[in-house]
Amino acid sequence: MTPIYAVAGIRRLEALAAPAPGAPTLMERAGLAAAEHARALCGERARDILVLAGPGNNGGDAFEVATHLKRGFHRVHLVFAGERAKLPPDAARALAKWEAAGGDLLSAIPAGVRFGLAVDGLFGIGLARPLGAAHAGLVRALNALDAPVLALDIPSGVNGDTGAAMGDAVRATRTVTFIARKPGLLTLDGPDHCGETVVEPLGVDAAALLAPEGLLAGPDSLGRAMRPRPMNFHKGRAGSVGILGGAAGMSGAAFLAGRAALKCGAGRTYLGLLAPVALDPVQPELMLRPAKDLFAKSLLTVLAAGPGLGRSEAAKKALDAAIGAKLPLVLDADGLNLVAASAALAKKVAARAAPTVMTPHPAEAGRLLGRETHEVQADRVAAAKAIAKRYTALVALKGNGTVVAAPDGHWWINPTGNPGMASAGMGDVLTGIVAALLAQGASPGDAAVAGVYLHGAAADRLVASGVGPVGLTAGEVIDAARALLNSKKPG
């Protein structure tokens, strides 16, 4: 899987990869690589190009890009929003190169010019506060242009570690990011501002120089989570999933989780319902039981608790039994809410010997940490890691760029999924998918990462085929997930 580095890690890589004297600097390499992307975006006939250069090294990258484009016979209008005397050394040299090529420095975006492209080189990954008034005004003007926008490393105004748009932020058509991916490109507001993201490694083998904490989930995760099935195979070898939930008026959540588990490969799926239901007429293969019957000896391989569980005393008692079961456990929805509300249950989860996977949305994550939702969203990677450590669990913090974190501090970001998934029941389907992968022998980490990737990729496939995003339903995602799972070769 593709490595991801927080800003501090990228700074270490820049130091480790410093070129030998006389070799092109990282800034020079970045400028050349970005100039090629600029040409591809604007085409040969677009003569006028706007470049915004900021006060730091991101501005230096912009000077390099501008110089290459000017030498390529484009009319480059460069706005410098900084102070020459305060530029870092490499950026100062890049500015001198621009001026030696005959370039001028403008203080404002020229009026009346039809730009074929705008290049955002105001601020890079080091920005950790909202833009000042002058820079914010430039960003607003840039966003108002009728031209594609190429952002250098990260759109100005987006936090490189968290993905938060800190007030005004550039909305790019394409972001060319250098050396490796950063979490801010992939989660929260980042994907909405980056457009297409392309990595230019600049000749740096990042993973060989510095082991990454984070990884980008990819289709290879599905192969690792699945085992090849021999011809001599039976349902017992595919595991048995139990879904604990289905309080009165909420049985649909348990049915969705159960259908997802069944169609993603579990050999048997039992629904332990708090409110009695005789049959799922859509999926009669599901075996419906009173909740207490799930805990019969040797019935299950994996247990999932939470879909439609409710928060009654009966639900709490059933959840306590589920946490005490010596089985891999997936916790979602009210399973998480009950744990967050009970110090005794929380302590019991953290002490489990069997694996636990938790799949909170941001509000549930806040309850688990005793924080507000906005605090969780302010740093999604840190929040997921904190939950994983506190509860000794694999955690999938759902949302734009779902973050999966392990208790040892490693984390993954998922690139799949779309806004059509903002509908009821999607989390229940994810619970069933993860439980099915666990039942078939996947490790907790592989099940969580692959489950999240598959869940989003299935929704993406539906949208690509014309189903949604508006009106996309959780039930539709189940069959698409099954199709995708069967299209991948098991590891």
Query: What pLDDT is stored for residue 45 in this prediction?
Result: 63
**What is the distance between the alpha carbons of residues 219 and 377, in angstroms, rounded to a whole number?**
26
Q: Which residues pair with 196 in a beta bridge?
A: 174
Query: What pLDDT is stored for residue 19 in this prediction?
Result: 85
Tens of pLDDT, residues 71-110? 988 999 999 999 999 999 999 999 999 999 999 999 999 9
Q: Which residues pair with 243 in a beta bridge?
A: 271, 304
Structure tokens given for 342? 């009970």
DSSP reduced 3-state for 147 = coil
Query: What pLDDT is stored for residue 296 in this prediction?
Result: 86
75-80/287-290 β-pairing: unpaired
Query: What pLDDT is stored for residue 57 in this prediction?
Result: 97
Tens of pLDDT, residues 138-164? 999 999 999 999 999 999 999 999 999
Query: What pLDDT is stored for residue 489 in this prediction?
Result: 73
Which regions of the chain are under pLDDT 50? none
Query: What pLDDT is stored for residue 47 in this prediction?
Result: 84
Q: How far is CA 217 from CA 54, 250, 397, 416, 468, in A?
A: 33, 32, 14, 9, 24
Query: What pLDDT is stored for residue 44 in this prediction?
Result: 65
Q: How far is CA 262 from CA 174, 224, 431, in A?
A: 40, 20, 12
C-alpha count within 13 angstroms, C-beta hemisphere, residue 362: 17
Query: What pLDDT is stored for residue 491 in this prediction?
Result: 64
**What is the distance between the alpha carbons of residues 348 and 363, in angstroms, rounded to a whole number?**
22
One-character DSSP codes across 171-183? --SEEEEESSB-G
Nearest residue to 426 (alpha-carbon basis) of 360, 474, 476, 475: 474
Chain Cα centroid distance, residue 134:
32
Nearest residue to 87 (alpha-carbon basis) of 117, 116, 61: 61
| Residue pair 271/254 in contact by the 8 Å Cβ criterion | yes
Tokens 């909305």 map to which residue? 171
The domains of the chain, with CATH numbers, are 2-17+25-212 (3.40.50.10260), 220-487 (3.40.1190.20)
Helix axes 444-464, 474-487, angle to 10 degrees: 110
